[in-house]
Structure 1
Amino acid sequence: MRTLGVEEEFLIVDPYDGSPLPLAADLLRHQDPGDQVHLSPNPTVTVEMHQEQLEVITHPHSSLSGLAAEIVAGRSYADSLARRAGARIVALATSPLAVRPHATSNDRYDVLLERFALTAREQLTCGCHVHVSVDSDEEGVAILDRIRSWLAPLIALSSSSPFWNGTDSGYASFRTQAWNRWSSAGPTEVFGSARAYQRMVADLSGTGVVINPDFDARISARHPTVEIRVSDVCLDPRDTVMIAALVRALVETAAREREAGQAPDMVPAIILRQGTFLASRWGIRGDLLDPITHRPDTARRVIGVLYDHVRDALEEAGDATYVWESLQRILSTGTGADRQRQAYERRGRLADVVTDAIGVTHHEPTDVLPPGNGLAAVPTLGSAGEPAREDELGLLTA
């Protein structure tokens, strides 16, 4: 069983007016060494490029239940740090309210801010990165070459950033648009070998622009993993678990294709970028590009094609029912972007968007939306493939 882990980025916000607060350094500086004694394993909490953010990093897990438990514990622990300063942690991929971010100062971020100017200064975005273990860089690059056509639907499913600088952007995932300003962001061409991948990374570094490439999917520089980086941070923690399960299944399916001698799809990266655009623009509310034909089709059909593609790997991991039920829930009740727009439409207040999002992030009651919107209870899946108790995945249902 391949292990998987997740990095989630969160906004630190005022719980009353919804505005982001530049408190990251203060929150981490005042951590108590005894804070995490009751958490096992202990998630890592760290700073990001801007002081309005915290990042929570899980350990590697073999089971979805272990991963889910740490995701929930990590969100709760980060929120406990924020509460000490009268703030909250919220899983929003962009801030609904206008904000001027405050940069974190360290060697890496100082270089990025100087080199990329406004692109870096405005980059207050929160993503969800999934790491999946690989045997070698050679296997990892072969996997990257075979999953690149399948990543855009993950953007649609995780979309949770409709607002930007105080206005509705018209996109389901505007974070994707903001992120793609980075010079090396986006889908890549087929590499063909680890040597070719490493040469590309070296050549990019040699331009004097790129420090570490921001490809949609890449070989981790620190861990024996592939890192898939396309998703918004998911408003609902159940969706984070689903995205992670889909990513692991995509990695396993690609590895099997390589072993069977199946060549990667040679579709140009510029075509894949159009799939990224459609997923970012519409989420699940419009057409997506079919990962096989590269022609537009309904989101429901494309997501069905994705599920069929990884079904065997999901079933062997014991994850199939959980993923299927999660997909059906999202297609029925909407994504995080849909939920945010519903919260805004009720009273036309962006602060309500944040208030409601805090509730969903931590599965707390909220009166911003009436019951039944976006938090419908679904069966979860235990390791044996049978419907499990709600606490078996550590995730609460409404």
Structure 2
Amino acid sequence: MRLDSITDAIGNTPLLRIDPAVHGLRRIDLYAKLELLNPFGSVKDRAAWNMVRPGLSEAAEHGRTVVELSSGNTAKALAVLAGMHGVPFKTVTNRMRIPETKDLLLLLGAEVEELPGQTECLDPTNTEDPLTLFHQTLTGPGSSYLYTDQYFNALNFQAHLAGTGPEIIKDLDGRAPDYFIACVGTAGSSTGVATVLREHTPDVTVVGLVAHKSDFVPGIRTLDEVQEVGLFDPAVYDTIASVTSGQAIDGMLTLVRRCGVLAGPTGGAAYFGAVRHLRGVDAELAQRDQGGEQERRSAVFIVCDRIEGYLGYVRERRPELLGRPPQKNSLADLSDAELASATDIGVEDALAWIGRDRPLVVDLRSPFAYAALHIEGSLNIVDELFGELVRGGLPFSKSRPVLLACPVGEQSARYAALLSRMGHPDVRSLRGGIIAWRDAGAPLVRE
């Protein structure tokens, strides 16, 4: 195959049938759409090219910079495409959680601007979120940027209307699958593919996968976070289910070791979520087999990108896979029982406790949010840094009680459970977080 441009290699990715001996489904043919084989390594190549192509010539002519709010694959693809056309590229983000991604972007010549707010916790208290303000600047009149705007740009999902969806139908000999399972990030691929499949066969079941609350799976947002994405429409999905980072890595290992597919954790999450959902369907079909119906179904999931850029992510969560000793004092290995036993405290009781026993109050939010409003006398330690401190042992004296607070009380509860396991006698999480504190009219101060 001869190409005139690397962009000609975008799309037409293979549809791989997964061996039933791997997934164990007897009546369902499971297929993986191998988007990791796009030239820049991910499903985002399609959307990036579709969004940036109309304005590249004008950007080059007038010296405009391509800009996107991205911490991952969209930024990678845009950096390559802009560079090929002699146009600068800049990405702005507060979610640069994968060090390898930042290093690659810098290698590609991109400018990376990291705004305040690197945190796994949502920060609904931050009414002047810097990303939102930047978005408004980019979309204002007279902007000197070519802003691709992946979270709201219809060209994102239209790339999948024209390519990914029709390719799946073609490779299934003109049929749509019975089930389509997709991870939800910008919602472009899931929305575009689902639209095409349902136009062909209206009763296709669409399963959307989000990251478990207070967990982090690259490329996937939590159910709370997807509400902020302009392309997200809950009506697209028949079911929305969550996947943990551990489940994503387990699914990734299966694809890598059993199928020869060098998938990243997003693809692993899609595989894990697909098999989990389809097991119940498979059992029903097997039950019907006893009546001689012999029904079969088909299902497709997307392998979004490749494993190589996520070795640091794996090392942090499953170091034993890379020949390293297991990480001590990690949130990843908390049991459901430990999480359920974490001590939380309501606002009224917290106020009384602070006045009586003077606990150390630790605010896990971003520095930007903390500076805007916080509990007087609290100590700001961003949750990632707090996690590093905890891995080294108890960061506080056991003699002083501790109150942990994050925006909505989820991440703080996990850390409270972990510190209790480590032997701290009195650590509590603020139930409902700073949101509940604010809504109760409890005092907050500015830095």
Q: Common fold, TM-score beyond 0.5?
A: no
Larger Rg, first or second structure (1 or 2): 2
